[in-house]
Amino acid sequence: MNKIFIDANYIIAIFREIESNHELAVKTCETILQNHEGFISNSIITEVVTIMMMRTKSIDLTRKAYYFMIDNFTVLNEYEIDKYNDKVFAVFEKYNNNNFKLGFVDCSIVVLSEFYNLDYVASFDKNFKLFKEINLYEMHDNKK
């Protein structure tokens, strides 16, 4: 059973039908929930709740996304990691040297993946391919 970290954009795509990756997110999420261990962080919860409410203006849909995360994924505590923010900032500096490419929360996923020995990251963010330290979970749309 693989350990997979779930990125915010993946969870948002599950709940927002207008997202371009909605069907793929729903389909692959079933596989992840049935066959793998899913993980998120407190930062992902914050990001999902904020973005869901901003984009949908629906507290009901935001609540569904929140409890979906809490009920289905293990929440990793970032602050168990010594000098966590310093480690994340080092990754942030490495990948954003004079040019913004990856957000701080995205960079935190590298630190979490290494510390908790996670196998994959599920994300639709194309910039995640820049990270040499993580393996992206392969998602396939059979329609293509």
In this predicted model, what pLDDT tens digit does every residue of 71-109 receive, in sequence order? 999 999 998 999 999 999 999 999 999 899 999 999 999
For residue 138, name the pLDDT band (cuts at 50, 70, 90): confident
Q: Does the pLDDT at position 142 exceed 60?
A: no
**Under 8 Å between Cβ of 64 and 27:** no
Give Dmax (Cα) for the chain: 45
Apex 123 CA angle, 121 and 128, nearest 5: 80
Domain boundaries, the chain: 3-130
- Tens of pLDDT, residue by residue over 100-116, are 999 999 999 999 999 99
Mean pLDDT of the chain: 94
Query: Angle of helix 59-72 relative to helix 42-56, nearest 10 degrees?
Result: 160
User: At which residue do the structure tokens 């039908």 appear?
Assistant: 17
Angle, CA 130 vertex, CA 127 and CA 131 arms, to 5° = 110
Please tell me the pTM assigned to this model. Answer: 0.93
pLDDT of 140: 61
- Matching CATH number, 3-130, of 3.40.50.1010, 3.10.180.10, 3.40.718.10, 3.40.630.40: 3.40.50.1010
Say if residue 51's pLDDT is above 50: yes
Quote the pLDDT of residue 139: 83
pLDDT at 141: 53
pLDDT for 38 equals 97
